[in-house]
Amino acid sequence: MAVLLRRLGHFVGNVIEGLGYIAAFAGHIVAVTVRPPLRWREFLDELFKVGVLSILIICVSGLAVGMVLGLQGYNTLVRFGAENSLGAVVGLSLIREMGPVLTALLTTGRAGSSVTAEIGTMKATEQLDGLRMMAVDPIDYVIRPKAWAMAVAMPLLSALFIVMGIGGGYVVGVGLMGIDSGTFLSSLENAVDFHDDVAGSILKSVIFGTLVGLISTYRGYTATPTSVGVSAATTSTVVLASVSVLIFDYFITALWGV
Amino acid sequence: MNASSTRDFLVGLFVLAGLLALAYLSFSIGGLQYKGTGGLTVFATFDQIAGLKPKAPVEIAGVKVGQVTAIRLDDTYRARVDLNLDKDLRLPVDSSAAIVTAGILGDRYIQLSPGAEGSFLQPGEQIAYTESALVMERLIGKFLVNVGDKPTQQDGETPKEIP
Amino acid sequence: MAYGRRPVLRGVSCTFRPGAISVVLGGSGSGKSTILKLIGGLLRAQAGRVVVGRIDITRFKESQLYEVRRRLGMMFQNGALLDSLSVLENLAFPLREHSGLSRAEITARVHERLAAVGLEDVDDLMPRQLSGGMVKRVALARAMMQDPEILLVDEPFSGLDPLSTKLIEALLVRINRTLGMTMIVVSHHIPSTMRMAGHVVLLLPDGVVEGHPTALQRSEDVRVRRFLTEETDTSEQILAHTHEFEAGEHTPQRPGGA
């Protein structure tokens, strides 16, 4: 029993220590961000890798999710004779939850793991040390553009996901199920309010972007510099970031929301 | 460097697409007003608002001319509803406001009926004539009771035999 | 100095003379690379002092180290070139970051350095396209870009064929002779060491032996003799141990230095 308690105490201690490290890490990133040079070139390159290369998976997934929402939504609503509210159901689900959360999870898997692997490999091949010896802070040159790119790309990707999803729902509802086009759109427009829904959605995706950006770069930076270590770090990024996104999602929804 | 200018172009496209999507969601669907907070602000008091919510639309002849900005209780325990209407709208001083329902079970909104007077409401003034919301449950209740005890209820007295 | 639970460089004290090529010799795990990292500030000493050019850097913060590193150049074992940049960009990097030179001037300097290490027309190649010998030479050129006072070299001959080894050795010697640059080389290649070193620091499990290479070769010290012979007989030893291992007779011990 005592052993169990001690281990639990250890575990909690480790978690808090970890949080402390990651907070210090985040602080360091902010500190180097406000100092010149701007590293615009690197930021744009990273934005390309996180954003442009994710467009396909985000749009396809958005479309698919929207279509499923359309289908499931219709099947459920028609039982209450409320199928004309399909636009509202599809739109609100996507904007409030599906958009930010699924986009974050998909991006974690694709871009997040790739960032961790890249940084971890750079650590293993001494490139980070090489930078230090040339008097360049690796957190400034490598980490900062990647973290910021993730935070900026996330809301944009989320918006694309949502729009594709609404399109998918529209195709199913209006095209397949025969709901009137005007009804779908007006139900959608009437139900969605910028302040309650869209603003909350944008806030969520910005927070998720920051979270995933921080976690993926941190895990890469602190990876054990061997191939096993890098691979373990990559897996842990995906797990840690995904769980954090879901947990934060609850808290943001509870604190923001109606 | 050619490779990177293509990349930059694509990044630009991506950002543009994302921003357009955000704009569509915010303005077209979310109803965000970009005109700022100009507008004719008037208010009206009701006995009963029954489910009217802030941001509910205000219509004249079915056309949206503004929205409900705030709902409060005033000193006489009536509901005071603040409205923000189109800047250029000219509302005669004897106009009336009614709370109506979209369909039978739908959302509440405000319907304005313009009056005939020559002078118009100024910002901050009150719409004098109001019609409160019909509470559906009361109506149904009345109807049911009516149907049940038909003879007594109708005149309020027992029918007399005419000799 | 200790790695985790393994102490390294316990009670070690040595001085490197300016203007000379000093070679640090020692078996695996003796702490050779650690000395380089301590000088470069990549590792922090847990006890004792590290003094570079009369500046005590033992307690320096990262930001203070950057100033010191401007006077150092480090050639890493695997090059530590940034793998996302071309050779030209890799070499231009330190100058772009720290000097105010124009693009044209930087490019000119890069070509100068490349010529000095015997490379031409490699500007647009990526590090992964270079042969082992070329990587070492590019790494050397990069370490030289900012005209350092002290050159730190980590295992310059590792993984090279005899011809390339001679080439690198010649380059290092030429740089030292023409520029009078202080060099601290970590190696376990005895023949080259004997030829090029002005000073040798031998790290033994129980202490340090310093001296001129000829002095060392003539040393009466048992440990020194054993080390020198072990190193030269390495290949025979490996073979012998392998046979014993296969026959199940022998728990493998690390042969000296391999």
C94 touches A: beta carbon within 8 Å: yes
**What is the crossing angle of helices A144-170 and A55-77, to 10°?**
40
Question: B130: helix, coil or strand?
Answer: strand
- Which chains neighbour A (Cβ–Cβ under 8 Å, 3 or more pairs)? B, C
- Which chains neighbour C (Cβ–Cβ under 8 Å, 3 or more pairs)? A
Residue (of C163, A189, C175) closest to B27 by Cα position: A189
Are the CB atoms for A215 and A240 separated by under 8 Å? yes
Are the CB atoms for C139 and C80 separated by under 8 Å? yes
Edge to edge, what strands does the sheet with C72-75 contain? Answer: C72-75, C150-154, C182-186, C21-26, C199-204, C207-211
Query: What single letter denotes the amino acid at residue A94?
Result: L
Tokens linked to C212: 């001129």
CA angle B3, B7, B13 (to 5 degrees): 150
Partners of residue B26 in chain A, C-beta under 8 Å: 194, 198
Partners of residue A130 in chain C, C-beta under 8 Å: 74, 76, 80-82
* Token pair 């090489």: residue: A130
**Contact at CB, A193 and B31, closer than 8 angstroms:** yes
User: Torsions phi, psi of A11, nearest 5?
Assistant: -60, -50
**Contact at CB, A126 and C72, closer than 8 angstroms:** no
Tokens linked to C258: 């391999």
H/E stretch holding C203 reads: strand C199-204
**Contact at CB, B25 and A190, closer than 8 angstroms:** no
The residues, ordered by sequence, that sit 6+ positions from A136 with a Cβ below 8 Å of its Cβ are C93, C94, C97
Range from A35-39, A83-87, A104-108 carrying the lowest mean pLDDT: A35-39
The predicted structure's pLDDT at residue A95:
93
Cα distances (Å, whole numbers) of residue B45 to A54, B11, B112, B120, B130 = 53, 53, 13, 18, 7
Average pLDDT over residues B11-19: 92
Q: Over the stretch C105-148, which tens digit does the pLDDT of each residue have?
A: 999 989 988 888 888 888 889 999 998 889 999 999 999 888 88
In this complex, the residue of A48, A153, A198 whose CB is nearest that of residue B25 is: A198
**% of chain A beyond a pLDDT of 90:** 65
* Domain range annotation of chain B: 1-34, 40-136
Average pLDDT over residues B143-156: 59
Residue (of A226, A216, A15) closest to A109 by Cα position: A216
**Contact at CB, A126 and C40, closer than 8 angstroms:** no
Cis ω before A37 (30° cut-off from 0): yes
Interface test with B, best of A166, A183, A198 (most B CBs within 10 A): A198
Residue (of C90, C239, C74, C256) closest to C156 by Cα position: C74
**Contact at CB, A135 and C66, closer than 8 angstroms:** yes
Cα distance between residue A106 and residue A60, in whole Å: 11
The predicted structure's pLDDT at residue C10:
64
Cα distance between residue B73 and residue B68, in whole Å: 15
The predicted structure's pLDDT at residue A241:
94
Partners of residue B31 in chain A, C-beta under 8 Å: 189, 192-194
Partners of residue A137 in chain C, C-beta under 8 Å: 62, 66
A66 touches B: beta carbon within 8 Å: no
Average pLDDT over residues A90-103: 94
More confident residue, B26 or B159: B26
Interface of C with A in 137-156 (CB under 8 A): 146, 152
The predicted structure's pLDDT at residue A171:
93
| pLDDT above 70 (res C3) | no
CA angle B46, B47, B48 (to 5 degrees): 90
Range from A98-107, A129-138, B83-92, C206-215 carrying the lowest mean pLDDT: C206-215
DSSP codes, B11-80? HHHHHHHHHHHHHIIIIIIT----STT-SEEEEEEES--TT--TT-EEEETTEEEEEEEEEEE-TTSPEE
Tokens linked to A78: 């028609």
Interface of A with C in 64-123 (CB under 8 A): 122
Are the CB atoms for B65 and B58 separated by under 8 Å? yes
Q: Over the stretch A233-257, which tens digit does the pLDDT of each residue have?
A: 999 999 999 999 999 999 999 988 6
Q: Over the stretch A199-235, which tens digit does the pLDDT of each residue have?
A: 899 999 999 999 999 999 999 999 999 999 999 999 9
C93 touches A: beta carbon within 8 Å: yes
Partners of residue C70 in chain A, C-beta under 8 Å: 135
DSSP codes, C93-150? HHHHHH----HHHHHHHHHHHHHHTT--S-TT--GGGS-HHHHHHHHHHHHHTT--SE
pTM over 0.90: no
**Contact at CB, A156 and B4, closer than 8 angstroms:** no
Cα distances (Å, whole numbers) of residue A75 to A35, A168, A184 = 55, 16, 15
**Contact at CB, A133 and C70, closer than 8 angstroms:** no
Return the residue of C nearest to A37 by Cα: C97
C72 touches A: beta carbon within 8 Å: yes
Tokens linked to B10: 């694509």
Average pLDDT over residues C21-28: 82
pLDDT tier, B37 (very low <50, low <70, confident <90, very high otherwise): low
Are the CB atoms for C125 and C89 separated by under 8 Å? no
Partners of residue A155 in chain B, C-beta under 8 Å: 18, 22
In this complex, the residue of A125, A136, A137 whose CB is nearest that of residue C80 is: A125
Partners of residue A134 in chain C, C-beta under 8 Å: 69, 93-94, 97-98, 146
The predicted structure's pLDDT at residue A63:
96
Average pLDDT over residues B46-73: 83
Cα distance between residue A21 and residue C217, in whole Å: 50
The predicted structure's pLDDT at residue C249:
45
DSSP codes, C14-34? ----TTSEEEEEE-TTSSHHH
pLDDT tier, C252 (very low <50, low <70, confident <90, very high otherwise): very low
A24 touches C: beta carbon within 8 Å: no
A130 touches C: beta carbon within 8 Å: yes
Q: Over the stretch C181-226, which tens digit does the pLDDT of each residue have?
A: 888 899 878 888 888 888 888 887 777 778 888 887 777 777 777 7
Torsion of CA C19, C25, C28, C30, to 10 degrees: -80
| pLDDT above 90 (res C176) | no
Cα distances (Å, whole numbers) of residue C53 to B71, C67, C92, C180 = 76, 13, 26, 15
* Domain range annotation of chain A: 1-35, 40-256
Burial class (CB in 10 A: 0-12, 13-18, 19+), C41: buried
Range from A163-177, B36-50, C173-187 carrying the lowest mean pLDDT: B36-50
Partners of residue A201 in chain B, C-beta under 8 Å: 25
Cα distance between residue A115 and residue C182, in whole Å: 38
Interface test with C, best of A28, A39, A134 (most C CBs within 10 A): A134
